[in-house]
Each structure stands twice: as structure tokens, then as C-alpha cells.
Amino acid sequence: MTDPVVSVSDLRITFPTLEGRITAVNGISFDVPAGGAVGIVGESGSGKSATSLALMGLHRGTNAEVTGDITVVGKNLATATDGQVRNMRGNDIAMVFQDPMSSLHPQYTIGNQLIEAYKVHRPEASSADARKRAVESLDRVGIPNAAKRINSYPHEFSGGMRQRALIAMGLMCDPTVLLADEITTALDVTVQAQILDLLDDLRSDLGMSLILVSHDLAVVAGSVDEVLVMQNGDIVERGDVRRVLSSPEHPYTKSLLAAVPRVDVSRAQRRAQVRAERTQSAPRGLSAQAKKALKAKAARQAAAVEDESAQQRTGATAKPEKSAESAEQPLLSVRNARMRFKVRGGLLGRASDFYAVDDVSFDLHQGETLGIVGESGSGKSTLSRMITRLLTPTSGQIVFEGRDITRLPEYKLRPLRRDIQMIFQNPYSSLNPRVTIGDSIGAGLRVQGESNTKEIQRKVQELLERVGLEASHYNRFPHAFSGGQRQRIAIARALILRPKLVICDEPVSALDVSTQDQVLRLLDELQDDFDLTYIFVAHDLAVVRQVSDRVAVMRKGEVVELNDSDTVYEAPQHDYTRELLAAAPVLDPVEAKKHRAQRAELRRQSTAA
Amino acid sequence: MIRYIFRRLAAGVVLLLVVTMVVFAIFFLVPRLAGIDSDGLAARYIGKSPSPEAIAAVKERLNLDEPITVQYWEFVSGLVMGQEYDSGTDIIHCDAPCFGYSFKTNTEVWPQLLERLPVTGSLAIGAAVIWLVAGVSIGVLSALRRGSLLDRAAMMTALAGVSLPIFFTGLVSLALLSYYWPIFPPGGSYTDFTENPLAWAHGLVLPWVTLAFLYAAMYARLTRAGMLDTMGEDFIRTARAKGLPERTVVTKHGLRAALTPIITIFGLDFGLMLGGAVLTESTFSLPGLGKFAVDAIRGSDLPVVLGVTMFTAVFVVIANLVVDVLYAWVDPRVRVGA
């Protein structure tokens, strides 16, 4: 057995704050064997990023205090000089960062930045050599036409290509260890799968060791041998990835695993589970009668699930709950909606047409949830903005409760705004930081003509309690809340007007898995209590499956597949849907390997064709 | 890139045209709207107690009785092709580019502008070099050693620099370094560069430093804020993770990004200054454009005031153009939206 390439013992990192020192990492130890792959998993605040920065010696010169020993490829970071540490960075251990947009310098070409990474460690290399090396490296990570794209600027690359370029930068000096910090978080599922496949290839081809840091267990499942689960600066569980994922020992790992949305759990199963748990835990403020009703609902649902398995999931089973009503008038119906944007470009700056949404039609019934999945640029957000009439469709119709609202002027739309509300993705930027949350939530009431301040406050506080916050939070500002709490505030803001239709645009994609799970549960409960109809827009296939009765898959502005959710997931009709499903990360490492092989096969076919 | 420059150029020409309109309106349309008739307007172009004949002659020369559009056309075409001021009895020629004719001193404005430009140019260029070098380097050092004694001292000095008016710092420096300790020549001494470069520089040190002090203070604060933002960016972390020496990280990665917005402000400041650093030139009695304008205003020599105003506007527009092109060169993202 050779020496480990990275060895950490009793690593402790503290940061000074106004309230005294905060311990980010609390005495952890681990080894990474040569050629091995270790995953570090944890939610925000677990200390995983502080750990990875420590491995690079990047806490030097900051206020952070690092104690304990870190040895990287035979060098002890605690005793090394600044020069030695610089020598190690990029050469022995290379780090690939999250958010490739901000991690690349916007004013230098990709090639320039790659060459720089090479020449700093190989000062004797000629410019031509360095350039050749950069082209090879870009080629290696799958950038097409690398020799030409080397002269591109980061903004000329797509998100996935930027991430590849960052990996290529890491590979410039053939490092012994590659440290990847949340590198797929900002990416679409298919791109995420490609990047993870690439890392796997690089590992086997170049014999590199890999440290994969992520908040997502499913991301590490298929790519590492050993996994460390971190919570509040401690490693709470470690071991072989198959063992940890199949039979976790620590309660935190268990809860984390339980919270991960699974692509193979259907809406009906999850709903039944949520309702069952709800009746058991007897939530506050719910009358005995309501509990009874819920119990009945849950029982019906459980029966339906059994039915379904009996029918061996023929695809037509999991009908929307209120299928009896589908004969009635739909709540919302979108007919041949198109949205055209003018794109400037070309030699003379002539505008060309670009259809962000192209001929989309569907009906949505009361109490139903329609999931819309698609990757970035697929038009899903544009579509939701058209339905709320934040955008006016170029052509087609939006019919709400039998009324054509496509071209209603703003003053006639106002009463309608009460009925259609939106919940946005980023809970940090979608709340005004200078307005108390009470005012933020109450603004809707005020706009709709309520002027009794006491009454507004009463309603808002009631709703705050309903979404799991406290009435006393009324006068606080958004910065006092965590991401999950802020999303609850956003939900309260959408619900204060008792809307009929709520459009959730990526409502949980910025949240940690466990928070994600709580927010999804809340949305489920609220749907029951307020008889809401949802349109749920997300890129995460598993999340969409769990909340949707029906699912529309969008690509390049078109709906390529629209069916009830079980059919879409169990028997996808369109190639693109299959591609998406194959790319979705799965928790089972064996399954993940299988998917990877499948993807490789798909790629071979497409290159052969 | 070429297309971008072309577009900017076209925009610059349009902007210049708008500037002529505004300047013309201020001098000829606004008084008219304020109820001053052509006689009253003409009287302003002559000395005290003008004779009716002189007024009639100026009215005729400036076409003040013609419709405003005709006057504007004469004004603009004069800028490009030169102008003839015809009083009916005699004709005064004003060669292109005609920036006006002073009836008080009986001289064309343009040659006088050209004569004074080198003074203002010398002052502006020298001061700009000093304030850029000093302001940016102090800003960078302050940002890197945030909260240190150096940072605090520098920012205190910068605050003083921004707050103290030029006529104060200028007069104090003259009193100390020229009269009390006669190290530098007194105010009003300007030697042309072509005559004696050393004397040129020696005479300009005090005005340079005085003017640069104010701007260096502003630029130090700007640079510091920009550097603090930039050094917290993710790409700086990437640069460090590559193993680059800290100096390269700061200069090549940090400063480049932080300087980009400063270029814009610098272009505008410098352009404006070429039109005359009024306070500095007055304080040090330098015969530049600013002093020219002040003297003209004092003597109510309207054509000169108008000429200097136009001249300054042209410099600002040109500076803007240069900045736009420079910006696109420095920051590739700008070219996309071109």
C-alpha cells in the first residue's frame, strides 16, 4: 500500500466574527489514497468548502485560523513556506471551482488563462509549447474545435463549456490530485452528467486522485469510492460509498438520504406518505375533522398506490387526483402560445427572430399540479411569465377561467393578479432587503384595496404561522432568515391573496436537500388546505416527479412530451426525455455505473450516426 | 471591433451636432425667449454705451433679425466652412473652423484658442500622469492593506484632498514654495516646452501637484473601492489556486478588472480639463483656456465665451469616444453588445 496523496489529521478551522470565533471545521481527519476518489458531502455550513480551501492553503492571508496537519503529496502545509504552497497549487493539487462564470477572469481569453496556469509552474516552457498544451487540455475535456476556441473569452462559452475549461485549467500541469468543489451545482442535468463522466474518465486515464465536494449525495454516488458525510464541521459518517448509501448508520446521513428527491418515487406515493405523516404528527391548529378528512384522503391514496403496483404501472394509472373534474372547464388553458424575441446579430446588426416559447398548448384543471421540466434556455420561465402576463405572448391565447386574458390591458389585469401568483427561485434576491417581511407579504393586500392596517397584520401573521414561521417575525427584515425560511416567506407572499393558481418557478433549487424537502412538503400541505392549482417549473427531474400530476418536458421552446407524470418517467415517449432521465443522478452507486455506461453508449451511437 | 468603432464615431458626430444646438440655444435662443429683442442682444456684443449704428452693424453681421433657423445654419456652417460677417458696408472674414469673432477685441476666436491650448494641455497632461500614478497606486495599496495605518492615513489625506478647494491648496503652496522658500517660480510664469523643457516643467510643478492632489484623492478612493470588490471575486481565488505569485494575482488579475471603470471616469475628467482647468489656471495665472474663458466672462466678451464652451464640448465628446473604444479593447464583453 502506497502512502496516501492527501492526508489530513485533526484539521480545525475557525473564523473570527463579531460574536466571537466560529468553528467551521472541528478536528477532522481523512486520507485520500493514490488514484482513489473521495467524496465530501454536506449541506451549507457543514465546513466542506472550508476544508477544500484548506487543502489548497487558500486560508493563508485571511482571518481564518487553521490548525492540525495537512499533507499533500508529501508536503506538510502547516510548515511549508508561501513559495512552497504556491508551487504545490495547480502542480500537485488542482482545484476546480463552482460557478464557472465568476471563477474565470472575464477579460482574458480562455487560452491565456490556461497558458498562465502552465507557465507559472513550467517557466522554461516555450509559449508555443504552452499553447499546444492548452489546446490538448481543452480537447481532452471535450471542447470541440479546441485550437480555435482557445482564443474565446469566457462569456463566449456556455456554462458547461466554462466548467470544462476550468477543469482543463486544472489539468494543465498533470496534478496528482484534482479537487472539485460543487462543480456541477450550476449546471443542467445532462451537462452535469457529462462533466461527472469526464471526471471519471480522467481518473481512469490519468490515474489522478479525485476529491469531489458536493451537497448532493446523488452527485457523488457514481463517482467516488469513499464518502465522508460532514455536519457542522464534523465528519459524522464515513465509509465505502455503497455501504453509506445503502445502510447509513448515522441519523444525519439517514435524514439526508431520506430528503433526497428520488426520481423513482411517484407523486402518488409521496403524497400518501406526506398525508399519513401529517395525520400522525397532528399539526397545530388543525381540527379533528380536518385530520379525519386527511386520513381518508391518505387512505384513498394508499389504495391507489397499491392499485397502481397491481397494474404493474402501465402508465395510465396515476391520473390526477381530480380526474373527475377534467371534463369540466379547465382553470387555465394555454393555446398555441408563442413568444418571440428579437436577437441582434449578424454583420449589419440585423435582428433575427428567436422563439423562446414556440407553439405551446395545454389545459390545467383545478387542484392539479403541472410540472414543467427543461434545461436552461428551454423557455420554461418565459412560459410561466406569459401565463402570469408579466410578458404578453406574441401569438396564441391564455385563457383563465374561461376568460381570454392574452391581451387584457394592465388595469383589467389587476383583479386577476389576485388569482394568479408566483413564487420565484432565488429567495435572497426576490425579497426587498429594506422592507420588513410583514410589509412584503402585506403589500399584495394593500394593492388589492385592503387599507385596514390591523386587518392586514392579522392576516399576514396568521399566514406566517401557517407556513411554519412565527407571528412575531412580522417586523423582521429578510436578512434575519435562512434560505428555507425566506422561501416560506415567498410562499406566504404568494398565498396572502388566496390565489387559485400558483406558479412556482424553481422554488427549491437554491436550497439544501433537507430544506428542499420541508418546503416541498409545505407546498403539498398548502395545496390540500387551500385547494391550490400549481404549475411547478424546475430543472430537477426528481423534484418535479414528486410534486406533479402531469409533466411537460420542454426543449428549445417546445413541449416535446406532455403526459401524466408516471408515464413520462416510466415510459418516456420522446428521445429527449430519455436522455434527461439517463442523465439524472441516482443514489445507488451500482445503478449510477449502469447509467454511465448507458450514456457512453448513447454518445457512441450519436457520434457513429 | 471595427463596426463598434464605426458606430461610436457616428454617435460622436451626432452628439457634437446636439452640442452645437444646445450651445447655440443658450446663447441665442434663450435670451430671445426671455424677452430680449435683437437690439438688446446685439448691444451685448459691443462695449459699453453702444451707438445705434454699431448695434445695427452687429445685428446685420450676426443676422440677428433673421429667423432662428437661419442663424443656426450660419453658426454651424461657420464652424465647418468659415464665415463672413457682413455689416453691409464692410465684411469681416473668419476662417474655418470659425469659433466666433470678438467684436470687442476685433480678433477671431479660433487662433486664440489654439494659442492657449498648449498651456492647458501641458497642465492637464502633467497633472493627469501624476494623479493616475499616485491615485491608483495609493488606492491599490490601501485596498491590499485594508484597515492598516497606511490605509487610514491615505484615506484621511484623500478626504482632505477631495474637500480642500484648489484656490486654497494652490495659494498655500505658492505662498510657501514660491514666496517664502523660493524653490519654484511665482504664478503667471509659463515657458513654452519648445523653448526650454526644463523651465517648462519647473514652472508647472506647483500647478500640476495642486491639480493632481484633488484628482488623486478621488481616484485613490475609487481604486480602493474597486480593488476591494475585485479581490473578493471568484476569479481571484482561481488565480491563487493556480499557484500564481501574489503580485501577479494583484496586478494582472485584480488591477485589470478594477481599472476598467476608472478608465471611463478618467476619459471624461481629462476631456473636461482640456477645455480649461479654470480654478488652477486662475490661481496660478496661467494663460490657458480656463483663464481665457474667465477673462472673457469678466469682460462680457460673448463670442469668446461661446467659442471656449464649444471647444470644451468638442474635447469631452472626443474623450468620450476614446473611452468607449478603449473600454471595448480592455473589456471584451463590451464588444458583444456592440
Q: Tell me what pLDDT residue A311 has.
A: 43
Amino acid at A12: R
Q: Tell me what pLDDT residue A308 has.
A: 46
Domains of chain B with CATH codes: 2-106 (no CATH), 110-336 (1.10.3720.10)
Which band of pLDDT confidence, cut at 50, 70 and 90, is reported for residue A414? confident
Would you call B241 and A97 a contact, using CB atoms and an 8 Å cutoff? yes
Would you call A106 and B331 a contact, using CB atoms and an 8 Å cutoff? yes
Q: Between the CA of residue A466 and those of A195, A295, A460, A489, B34, what are the distances in Å?
A: 41, 20, 10, 11, 66
Cell numbers standing for residue A123? 517557466
Q: Tell me what pLDDT residue A272 has.
A: 77
Q: Tell me what pLDDT residue A327 has.
A: 55
Tell me if A565 sits within 8 A of A266, measured CB to CB.
Answer: yes
Structure letter (DSSP) for residue B25: I
- Give the residue with greater pLDDT, A559 vs B4: A559
Q: Tell me what pLDDT residue B195 has.
A: 87
A-chain residues within 8 Å CB-CB of B233?
A: 102
**CA–CA min distance A350, chain B (Å):** 12
A105 touches chain B (CB under 8 A): yes
Which band of pLDDT confidence, cut at 50, 70 and 90, is reported for residue A299? low
pLDDT at residue A305 greater than cutoff 80: no
pLDDT at residue B338 greater than cutoff 70: no
Can you tell me the ipTM of this complex?
A: 0.78
A-chain residues within 8 Å CB-CB of B239?
A: 105
Q: Once rounded to an integer, what is the mean pLDDT over residues A571-577?
A: 90
B175 touches chain A (CB under 8 A): no
Size of interface A-B (CB pairs under 8 A): 73
Q: Once rounded to an integer, what is the mean pLDDT over residues A382-410?
A: 89
CA–CA separation, B312 and B327 (whole Å): 22
Q: Tell me what pLDDT residue A349 has.
A: 53
The gap from C-alpha A207 to its chain's centroid, in whole angstroms, comes to 30
Amino acid at B286: L
Strands (E), A184-306: 209-214, 226-231, 234-240
Q: Tell me what pLDDT residue A291 has.
A: 53
Please choose, from the candidates B98, B242, B254, the residue with its C-alpha nearest in 3D space to the C-alpha of residue A106. Answer: B254
Which band of pLDDT confidence, cut at 50, 70 and 90, is reported for residue A590? confident
Would you call B237 and A117 a contact, using CB atoms and an 8 Å cutoff? no
Least confident of A108-122, B164-178, B261-275: B261-275
Nearest to A120 among B244, B260, B336 (CB): B244
pLDDT at residue A373 greater than cutoff 70: yes
pLDDT at residue A225 greater than cutoff 80: yes
Cβ count within 10 A of residue A290: 15
Which band of pLDDT confidence, cut at 50, 70 and 90, is reported for residue A371? very high
**CA–CA min distance B258, chain A (Å):** 11
Q: Once rounded to an integer, what is the mean pLDDT over residues A461-469?
A: 90
pLDDT at residue A313 greater than cutoff 50: no
Q: Tell me what pLDDT residue A302 has.
A: 54
Which band of pLDDT confidence, cut at 50, 70 and 90, is reported for residue A319? very low
Q: Tell me what pLDDT residue B87 has.
A: 73
pLDDT in tens, A126-141: 999 999 999 999 988 8
pLDDT in tens, B322-335: 888 888 888 877 76
Q: Once rounded to an integer, what is the mean pLDDT over residues A448-459?
A: 88
Cell numbers standing for residue A422? 408566483
A73 touches chain B (CB under 8 A): no
Would you call B242 and A90 a contact, using CB atoms and an 8 Å cutoff? yes
Please choose, from the candidates A496, A390, A495, the residue with its C-alpha nearest in 3D space to the C-alpha of residue A446. Answer: A496
Tell me if A155 sits within 8 A of B333, measured CB to CB.
Answer: yes
B-chain residues within 8 Å CB-CB of A94?
A: 241
B-chain residues within 8 Å CB-CB of A99?
A: 234
A86 touches chain B (CB under 8 A): yes
SS3 B98: coil
Percent of chain B with pLDDT over 70: 99
Please choose, from the candidates B91, B95, B85, the residue with its C-alpha nearest in 3D space to the C-alpha of residue B61. Answer: B85
- For residue A455, report the phi and psi dihedrals to the nearest 5 degrees: -65, -45
Least confident of A194-203, A266-275, A440-449, B317-326: A266-275
A58 touches chain B (CB under 8 A): yes
**For all residues of chain B together, what is the average pLDDT?**
87
Would you call B238 and A104 a contact, using CB atoms and an 8 Å cutoff? yes
Q: Tell me what pLDDT residue A68 has.
A: 92
CA–CA separation, B216 and B220 (whole Å): 6
pLDDT at residue A227 greater than cutoff 70: yes
Cα dihedral across residues A182, A188, A192, A195: positive or negative? negative
A153 touches chain B (CB under 8 A): yes
Q: Residue A494: in which H helix or E strand, if any?
A: helix A483-495
Residue A33, Cβ density class (10 Å: 0-12 exposed, 13-18 middle, ≥19 buried): middle
Tally: H helices and E strands in chain A: 23, 20
Tell me if A503 sits within 8 A of A369, measured CB to CB.
Answer: no
- pTM assigned to the model: 0.78
Q: Tell me what pLDDT residue A71 has.
A: 92
Domains of chain A with CATH codes: 1-92+178-188+209-260 (3.40.50.300), 99-174 (no CATH), 267-310 (no CATH), 368-388+408-580 (3.40.50.300)
B326 touches chain A (CB under 8 A): no
Residue A400, Cβ density class (10 Å: 0-12 exposed, 13-18 middle, ≥19 buried): buried
CA–CA separation, A497 and A426 (whole Å): 21
B247 touches chain A (CB under 8 A): no
By C-alpha distance, the chain A residue nearest B332 is A107
Would you call A106 and B237 a contact, using CB atoms and an 8 Å cutoff? no
Q: How many CA atoms does the CB half-sphere of B281 hold within 13 Å?
A: 25
By C-alpha distance, the chain A residue nearest B233 is A102
pLDDT in tens, A262-293: 777 777 777 777 777 777 665 444 455 555 55
Nearest to A87 among B243, B253, B257 (CB): B243
pLDDT at residue A407 greater than cutoff 90: no
CA–CA separation, A154 and A162 (whole Å): 7
Select the residue from B148, B240, B326, B327 to test the A interface by mutation, using most A Cβ atoms within 10 A: B240
Nearest to A121 among B243, B246, B260 (CB): B243
Report the b/e string of A535-573 with b at 16+ CB within 10 A.
bbbbbbbbbbbbbbbbbbbbbebbbbbbbbbbbbbeebe
